[in-house]
Amino acid sequence: MTNDAGDEMRQRDDDWVELVRRNHGGGIDFHKLEASRRRLGIEGDGKKWPKEYDDPALSRRVLGLDRE
């Protein structure tokens, strides 16, 4: 049996129990994101990240994973 949202339900004793949520949204809603950006007046992607940020060694130093 499924409920109105399409979730699978099973009866246990006198109660119905939800087993699996099948229509949960996941990920980023890009349409909602774009609408929010327009509403807030945000245009473009802004400044690009410096090339140094692509260096894994920088991340390791910032996170303190390498001893100096």
Residue of 2, 5, 37 lying closest to 17 (CA atoms): 2
Span 11-28, pLDDT tens digits: 555 666 656 666 666 788
Q: How far apart are CA 44 and CA 37, in angstroms?
A: 9
Average pLDDT value over all residues in the chain: 76
pLDDT of residue 43: 87
How many angstroms separate the most distant Cα atoms in the chain? Answer: 64
Residue 37 — very low, low, confident or very high, per pLDDT cuts 50/70/90? Answer: very high
Domain definitions of the chain by residue range: 1-42
